[in-house]
Amino acid sequence: MRSSADRIKGDLETLGEIGKTEAGGVSRFIFTDEDFEARRFITGLMQSVGLRTVSDKVGNIIGRRPGRNEDLPPVMTGSHIDTVPNAGIFDGCVGVVGAIEAMRVLNANGVTSNRPIEVVVFNNEEGVRFEPLAGSKAMACQASVDSILNSRDRDGALFREAFERGGQRIDGLPSPCRRGRVRAFVELHIEQGPILEKKGLDIGIVGAIFGIRQFLTSFRGVAGHAGGTPMSMRKDAVLAAAKTVVAVDEITKRYGPPAVGTVGSVRVYPGVVNVIGEQSEVSVDVRDSDGSRLRSRSGEVKRRIKAIARATSTEFEIVDRLEIDPTAMSRRISRVIEVCAKRVGARYTHLDSGPYHDTMMMAKITKCGMIFVPSRDGASHSRKEFTEWRQIAKGVDVLSETLVALSK
Ligand code: GLV
Ligand code: MN
Ligand code: MN
């Protein structure tokens, strides 16, 4: 038996109803009512295919399919179900719903694997609330449980309290750190770019994931009257933010592809028409396939921010948020994926990922691979996101075969 596009569609659309916005997308940030409802839905699905489910101390959900040899480290697969604001229903969710469908396929085919197989829902991949990649960071032992539980969102809410609001006590839950206890990790995900669609292919086998630097810059100026304050006397935090937006664009374009640089968030205070900006906060997100180019560009942006502060007579502060070097997938696992793609008749290519993934964290403790399915018009982080159901099913078939091969 192969995977069912209809079942995948049903599960993804049901999940996609949870947190649906009036604008036609979905907003599901961790530890909101919508997130807790989505967790219940996915936990129920996992149990319905026979997985034994547990949440760890930082809110990762793990569903385990026993193997013949329960002492061996499991093969893992999965992704995330949190979203950016007004997102599509595919980013992350394809890798979770797809992994559960893969378990149905294994069950229907009477597969008993030697190693256990675990399906994981990583907590807070997107990081709209709290730190991005929190769940996979903790699973890869790259962040302590306490640092995550004691982190706060922008409104000052404590991670630990927000988590327990869902009705679970953290104390009795297992530790997330799994060093030495994961045989391999494979993530199925939408491409979030145009390559597979352009080439008319079913599958992308990821070779590497771009490195990333994210930081938040805040400028402090002096509020003043828009009519009374001469231009020469201003300390304008909004002007500093605007110059930063332009600098990120200009510096990134000078480096050229595949470098990308984004300011996705600018917040200003007091934010009214006739007051000179007193404070501003600008997010910076820069990515590149080449680690040394990324480091030098990130350094250049930071030096430019310092110069902008001087030129606008503002004070500035930079707080680093995410710093991951380019991450290569395991050649051995990519070869296994390739063999499995051939076996299921999927037309494939090898490509790199510009978006980051939980896989980057898992690669710190185990061998990893990623399977991409096409994104229509390359759209993602947008409600326009779409992947043909049969293409997801193809990806699930490749995933199922890969899990069977790796868990022998
Ligand atoms: C995660 O979705 C990213 O920003 O790459
Ligand atoms: Mn995303
Ligand atoms: Mn994702």
Query: Can you give the residue range of the structural domain that contains 291?
Result: 211-324
Shared-domain flag, residues 335 and 355: yes
Shared-domain flag, residues 203 and 266: no
Residue 276 has pLDDT above 90, yes or no: yes
Phi-psi region of 251 (alpha: psi -120 to 50; beta: other; left: phi over 0): alpha
What spacing in Å lies between the alpha carbon of 357 and ligand 3's midpoint?
A: 6
How do beta strands 260-262 and 279-288 pair?
Answer: antiparallel
Domain stop point among 272, 290, 324: 324
Burial code (b: 16+ CB inside 10 Å, e: under 16) for 137-150 equals bbbbbbbebeebbe
Q: Is residue 54 within 8 Å of 172, Cβ to Cβ?
A: no
How confident is the model over 176-188, as a mean pLDDT? 98
Shared-domain flag, residues 24 and 70: yes
Nearest to 314 by CA among 378, 269, 257, 273: 269
Q: Is the CB of 118 under 6 A from ligand 1?
A: no
How high does pLDDT run on average in the chain?
Answer: 97
Confidence of residue 246 (pLDDT cuts 50, 70, 90): very high
Domain stop point among 291, 324, 357: 324
Shared-domain flag, residues 11 and 73: yes
- What is the number of the ligand closest to the CA of 79? 3
Confidence of residue 96 (pLDDT cuts 50, 70, 90): very high
**Predicted model pTM:** 0.96
Q: Is the CB of 210 under 6 A from ligand 1?
A: no
Nearest to 317 by CA among 224, 240, 239, 223: 240
Q: Is residue 277 within 8 Å of 266, Cβ to Cβ?
A: no
Shared-domain flag, residues 318 and 173: no
Shared-domain flag, residues 285 and 379: no
How confident is the model over 79-93, as a mean pLDDT? 98
Q: What is the CATH number of the domain that holds 226?
A: 3.30.70.360
Nearest to 65 by CA among 119, 2, 11: 119
Nearest to 109 by CA among 49, 52, 175, 48: 49
Shared-domain flag, residues 53 and 194: yes
pLDDT tens for 34-57 read 999 999 999 999 999 999 999 999
H or E element that contains 369: strand 367-373
Shared-domain flag, residues 18 and 96: yes
Residue 1 has pLDDT above 90, yes or no: no
The residues, any chain, with a CB within 8 Å of residue 120's CB and separated by 6 or more, are 60, 61, 62, 63, 76, 77, 78, 139
For the chain, the domain total comes to 2
What spacing in Å lies between the alpha carbon of 157 and ligand 1's midpoint?
A: 23
The residues, any chain, with a CB within 8 Å of residue 82's CB and separated by 6 or more, are 28, 29, 30, 35, 92, 123, 124, 125, 126, 128
How confident is the model over 71-100, as a mean pLDDT? 98
How confident is the model over 129-135, as a mean pLDDT? 96
DSSP β-bridge partners for residue 55: 61
Residues in the chain, how many? 408
Q: Is the CB of 356 under 6 A from ligand 1?
A: yes
Q: Is the CB of 166 under 6 A from ligand 1?
A: no
Shared-domain flag, residues 25 and 80: yes
Residue 315 has pLDDT above 90, yes or no: yes
Q: Is the CB of 191 under 6 A from ligand 1?
A: no
Ion ligand 3 nearby residues (CB, 5 A): 91-92
Domain stop point among 275, 307, 324: 324
Residue 169 has pLDDT above 90, yes or no: yes
Shared-domain flag, residues 350 and 290: no
